[in-house]
Chains A and B, each alone.
Chain A
Amino acid sequence: MVVKSLVRKGDYRDSVVLMRISKQLEAFEGVKKGTAMMATDNNKDLMKEAGLLTDDINYAGPNDLAIAVEAANENVASGAIEGAKKALSEVAPVESGETFYNTLKAATDSVPDSNLVLISTPGQFAAREAMKALRAGKHVMMFSSDVPLDDEVRLKQFASERGLLVMGPDCGTAIIGGVGLGFSNIVRNGPVGVVGAAGTGIQEVTSILDEVGITNAVGTGGHDLADVVGGITMLAGLRALEADDKTKVITVISKPPSPKVAEKILNVLKTFKKPVVVDFIGGDHRVVEEAGLIHAETLEDAAQKAIAALRGQTLKETMFSQPERKIRETVEKEIKQMKPVQKYIRGLFSGGTLCSESQLILKNLIGDVYSNVPLKKELKLSDIHKSQLNTCVDMGTEDFVRGVPHPMIDFRFRRERILREAKSPETAVILLDVVLGIGANIDPAGELVGAIKEANEIARKEGRYVSFVASVCGTVSDPQGLETQRRKLIDAGVVVMPSNAQAARMAAMIASRGDVWGKL
């Protein structure tokens, strides 16, 4: 038998804690006696009687914590004392329930096993919080925008050296470990991994992928593919998905990166063993195909081709889910009461990527489309509040949301714009996106139908008919309910299409009175 002790100077603990520690000491295999006490004279007497009073403890004072064990051998004694030290250093668990902290530091200290920090502070302060999170060893998602590019580079380099992920800045959407972050949809678990530099792009793709499910959807933020950043997050995300056993197919979504960054990414993707579907929205299909990867023309196409790849199939792009006869029937019905002067499409979007994609599709079918975020600068709207010829407006840009909530939450501006477009005699089609999911309004269709009915009334009084075409981006598990939302729109007379791409095509069919069929 040996007696071993430890004195912690000035470490005052209350007797309840000490009793718990003492109990733990005695429960240790091979320990005969064990105690943890403050080294008061009284306690020293007790320890003396128990044969546990070592010289160290004898010299300790009432503010010193004394731990002593009598054990079978030296090793057992040391082990028991180590155990007691560990128990003493353990922070008492935080009660479950609503816990708010004043600072990130307080939160990381109190929840040491947290692993991701979601940052949505104003942009100028976001980098500092992100750096604190990374220093604490947490992954980061930065919803914040307007973060200086050199901060982004610094954060991402710091993170990549430490095996951490920085999604964003300006990252609106991600789904990690089954949890939707920012604006995102409830998508079931499954074998497709997604990396995207476009928020609503990820939403559209993952919503369609709900059929098979996803592992993760990593958002990179809008500037990750800029030359200076060089796609650090995209590459990290792609490599993680390639290494992940559960991911069988990978899907990449972004606007066309610069040739330099595109080459870098494609060179990495070339080495992947898993099938990779790439949608460089509006990008050149040849570079993708030359790299041996699967090119997707639209977001829907990216999702469908990923599903096909999963099944070992190849797929041609689907223009419409319904047969031609059905599509033509719908077009006929919509154009019946239209006046010849009603020629133009007015797209009012809450999702930036959905707006861009619509412009790309419409450009090929009906020509130039004006926008506040146009495909080429000659097509920039002179006044973002007034449509010109064919127009698609992204109502989620800074100009629109300054000081008001995002149009996926607050529908006021879209409703007003719908009424304005209905008053314009040249409007043939009002094209809408309706985005469901976490972060979005709890009843987007309900927010729109009033304005749609009013718009119909305005047109009817002037002897016109305005066609409404929409797609609903969402899943059956989203809190708003995909079917309920679709039904509300259909009941209001809206032509509801299964995807943003199909909605754009339908709008072009109606505005051209069916003429563009041959171009599809």
Chain B
Amino acid sequence: MKIPESLKIINVGLKSFYEDLKTQKAAAVHVDWKPPAGGDPELAKLLSKLELPEIEAANGRAIEKILAAIPTLVDIKPAREVIPRMKDNTILISGPPIEWERMSGPTKGAIWGALIYEGLAKNQAEADRMAAEGEIEFGACHDHDAVGPMAGIISASMPVFVVKNKEHGNVAYSNFNEGLGKVLRYGSYEDSVLKRLKWIEKTLAPVLADAMKNSGPVDLKGIMAQALHMGDELHCRNVASSMILLKLLSPHIAATGHDGKTIAEVMKFMGENFLFFLNPAMASCKVSMDAGHGIEYCSIVTTLARNGTDFGIRVSGLDGQWFTAPAEVPRLLCFPGFTEADANPDIGDSAITETAGFGSFASAASPAVVQVVGGTPNEAIEHTKEMWAITLAKDKSFSIPFMNFEGIPRGIDLRKVIDTGILPIINTGVAHKKPGFGTVGFGVLRAPQLCFTEALKAFATKYGL
């Protein structure tokens, strides 16, 4: 043993010791230490039992796959043709599975709308009766290789983006983004909403599908990396990514041979909806995370999802299980005319972006997003720094210029969440709690502790003890 000639110190614990070191002009950094598992001795014990080389190895393999994934947009198809186990009376919704009675207002509103849109019900009353009497088969998008923002409704006729992971071959699906305000995914189901959905089905999707015949597969990973450098965090801000996609597809749309008026409509819609790219981004995140899902001993959280009632997570090494807790209401910036009291609890599969390292995890790359979700640019930076503490990799494929081109935090380790007490942060849109009112605003919140606590216990039972 050799005593070092000069010290570079990491201080863990009492801040005054750090200050004493600074007074001496010693090289030192400070760790703002918090007790593991919020000081819960039982969980702390589980954590120490889960310091296994098998877990490290499994996590290493999984994160390698997640980082290597190359999400690529390969097609646009009606849901019934591509999504597994999709029947004419199937309605997929966001978040963990839930029964009709417990569904939130916006989810129910969106389901009414989807049933009328599909022609399965004539009106809201009939739709409500069908849902209540078990004539509709509900499923969680995630359990069907799909993701949907907010209410996340996907019905059989809806066109979906088919996103393939070119590296590993797995596929995920997402529906089309309708814009903001009175839209189905925020629980609105009035005629104008359904009319827009029909236009998406009959005009937008076929034109884009034709365009893709010209363009061939579109590399979404590349778009996401570029958009990150242009200020998108790819959850609540998709301004750059939507433009890049439109830019890439424009010549191919023009070349489809559709009439000029139709093409103008399509390009206007895509150009005006700054969340257009959210849905393909979500499917990209989903295929990436799925590449690391279902690996024995792996403690990576592969899904964060909410249905407006419950918040649920899935863990790679615990395939087939959801761990849920009541969804909470975000701290939000309201649109004019709404207040916090109108807000529904957290909803949507879009937290798959955070799960994959985007959204609030990448908010240091997106100072502008704080204008949407609230907070300050400094907070945005702090969020990314915090998320580094609970993740396994900084992915240089997606670098953050402002943070010395450090990579975004990817691969939430369940153990690190419990250990540090740092819960994943989510940037999100907020729906009105009553059906039919649409978007209330945007906000930020943390995933509930309970999901992670329960998952850790299950993980320990399966692997540790």
25 residue pairs from A and B, CB less than 8 Å apart:
A10-B67, A12-B222, A63-B225, A92-B404, A94-B404, A100-B30, A102-B34, A102-B386, A103-B416, A104-B10, A106-B388, A114-B9, A117-B9, A117-B12, A118-B11, A118-B17, A118-B21, A138-B10, A177-B4, A179-B7, A180-B24, A181-B17, A237-B3, A241-B3, A243-B2
Contact A177–B12 (Cβ < 8 Å): no
Grouping DSSP codes into helix (H, G, I), strand (E, B) and loop, the B interface class, with mixed when no group exceeds half, is mixed
Contact A177–B33 (Cβ < 8 Å): no
Contact A120–B388 (Cβ < 8 Å): no
A85 within 8 A of B: no
Contact B3–A105 (Cβ < 8 Å): no
Point out the residues of chain B lying under 8 angstroms from A329, CB to CB: none
B6-26 interface with A by 8 A CB criterion: 6-14, 16-17, 20-21, 23-24, 26
B203 within 8 A of A: no
Known: A14-B401, A100-B29, A160-B1. A129 touches B222 (CB 8 A): no
CB distance from A190 to the nearest CB of B (A): 15
B362 within 8 A of A: no
CB distance from B129 to the nearest CB of A (A): 50
Point out the residues of chain B lying under 8 angstroms from A237, CB to CB: 3
Size category of the B interface is 35 or more
B35 within 8 A of A: yes
> Within the assembled complex, what's the spacing in Å between the Cα atoms of A180 and B20?
8
CB distance from B29 to the nearest CB of A (A): 5
Contact A107–B405 (Cβ < 8 Å): no
A1-23 interface with B by 8 A CB criterion: 9-14, 16-17
A119 within 8 A of B: yes
Known: A10-B68, A117-B12, A438-B23. A163 touches B2 (CB 8 A): yes
Known: A106-B389, A111-B10, A125-B35. A120 touches B17 (CB 8 A): yes
Point out the residues of chain B lying under 8 angstroms from A164, CB to CB: 1
Contact B23–A479 (Cβ < 8 Å): yes
Point out the residues of chain B lying under 8 angstroms from A236, CB to CB: 1
A165 within 8 A of B: yes
> Within the assembled complex, what's the spacing in Å between the Cα atoms of A284 and B68?
68
Q: Quick one: CB contact mask for A95-113 with B, threshold 8 Å, 1 for yes?
A: 0000111111111101101
A143 within 8 A of B: yes
Point out the residues of chain B lying under 8 angstroms from A239, CB to CB: 1
Point out the residues of chain A lying under 8 angstroms from B24, CB to CB: 179-180, 186, 438
> Within the assembled complex, what's the spacing in Å between the Cα atoms of A138 and B12?
13
Contact A116–B420 (Cβ < 8 Å): no
> Within the assembled complex, what's the spacing in Å between the Cα atoms of A9 and B386?
29
Q: Among A14, A99, A118, A144, point to the contact of B399 (Cβ < 8 A).
A: A14
CB distance from A465 to the nearest CB of B (A): 39
A133 within 8 A of B: yes
Known: A10-B70, A12-B398. A240 touches B2 (CB 8 A): yes
B residues touching A (Cβ–Cβ < 8 Å)?
1-14, 16-17, 20-21, 23-24, 26, 29-36, 41, 44, 48, 67-68, 70, 167, 219, 221-222, 225, 229, 385-386, 388-389, 396-399, 401, 404-406, 416, 419-420, 422
A177-202 interface with B by 8 A CB criterion: 177-182, 186
CB distance from A479 to the nearest CB of B (A): 7
Contact A438–B20 (Cβ < 8 Å): yes
Point out the residues of chain A lying under 8 angstroms from B419, CB to CB: 103
Closest chain B residue, CB of each to CB of A193? B3
Contact A176–B4 (Cβ < 8 Å): yes
> Within the assembled complex, what's the spacing in Å between the Cα atoms of A118 and B26?
13
Point out the residues of chain A lying under 8 angstroms from B10, CB to CB: 104, 107-108, 111, 114, 116-118, 133, 138
Contact A124–B31 (Cβ < 8 Å): no
Contact B36–A128 (Cβ < 8 Å): yes
CB distance from B127 to the nearest CB of A (A): 44
> Within the assembled complex, what's the spacing in Å between the Cα atoms of A10 and B166?
11
Point out the residues of chain B lying under 8 angstroms from A138, CB to CB: 10
Contact A129–B9 (Cβ < 8 Å): no
Contact B29–A120 (Cβ < 8 Å): no
Q: Which 6 A-B pairs have the closest CB atoms?
A: A92-B404, A120-B13, A102-B389, A12-B397, A120-B14, A179-B26
Contact B396–A13 (Cβ < 8 Å): yes
> Within the assembled complex, what's the spacing in Å between the Cα atoms of A142 and B1?
18
Closest chain B residue, CB of each to CB of A241? B3
> Within the assembled complex, what's the spacing in Å between the Cα atoms of A118 and B41?
23
Point out the residues of chain B lying under 8 angstroms from A129, CB to CB: 12, 33
Contact A101–B32 (Cβ < 8 Å): yes
Contact B420–A102 (Cβ < 8 Å): yes
> Within the assembled complex, what's the spacing in Å between the Cα atoms of A108 and B6?
17
Point out the residues of chain A lying under 8 angstroms from B20, CB to CB: 180, 438-439
Known: A99-B29, A101-B30, A111-B10. A63 touches B222 (CB 8 A): yes
Contact A105–B389 (Cβ < 8 Å): yes
Point out the residues of chain A lying under 8 angstroms from B398, CB to CB: 12
Contact A121–B13 (Cβ < 8 Å): yes
Q: Among A17, A118, A216, point to the contact of B405 (Cβ < 8 A).
A: A17
Q: Among A100, A120, A178, point to the contact of B6 (Cβ < 8 A).
A: A178
A218 within 8 A of B: yes
Q: Among B1, B7, B21, B229, point to the contact of A163 (Cβ < 8 A).
A: B1
Q: Among B3, B36, B397, point to the contact of A125 (Cβ < 8 A).
A: B36
CB distance from A156 to the nearest CB of B (A): 11
> Within the assembled complex, what's the spacing in Å between the Cα atoms of A104 and B8?
14
Point out the residues of chain A lying under 8 angstroms from B11, CB to CB: 117-118, 120
Point out the residues of chain B lying under 8 angstroms from A10, CB to CB: 67-68, 70, 167, 221, 397
Q: Among B7, B221, B389, point to the contact of A103 (Cβ < 8 A).
A: B389
Known: A12-B225, A13-B399, A119-B13. A139 touches B68 (CB 8 A): no
Point out the residues of chain A lying under 8 angstroms from B167, CB to CB: 10
CB distance from B242 to the nearest CB of A (A): 19
> Within the assembled complex, what's the spacing in Å between the Cα atoms of A11 and B4?
37
Closest chain B residue, CB of each to CB of A243? B2
Point out the residues of chain A lying under 8 angstroms from B219, CB to CB: 61-63
Most buried by A among B4, B41, B420: B4
Q: Quick one: CB contact mask for A80-97 with B, threshold 8 Å, 1 for yes?
A: 000000000001111000
Point out the residues of chain A lying under 8 angstroms from B26, CB to CB: 179
Contact A12–B29 (Cβ < 8 Å): no
A218-252 interface with B by 8 A CB criterion: 218, 236-237, 239-241, 243-244
CB distance from B457 to the nearest CB of A (A): 19
Point out the residues of chain B lying under 8 angstroms from A116, CB to CB: 4, 7-10
A199-220 interface with B by 8 A CB criterion: 216, 218
CB distance from B146 to the nearest CB of A (A): 25
Point out the residues of chain A lying under 8 angstroms from B35, CB to CB: 121-122, 125
Contact A176–B7 (Cβ < 8 Å): yes
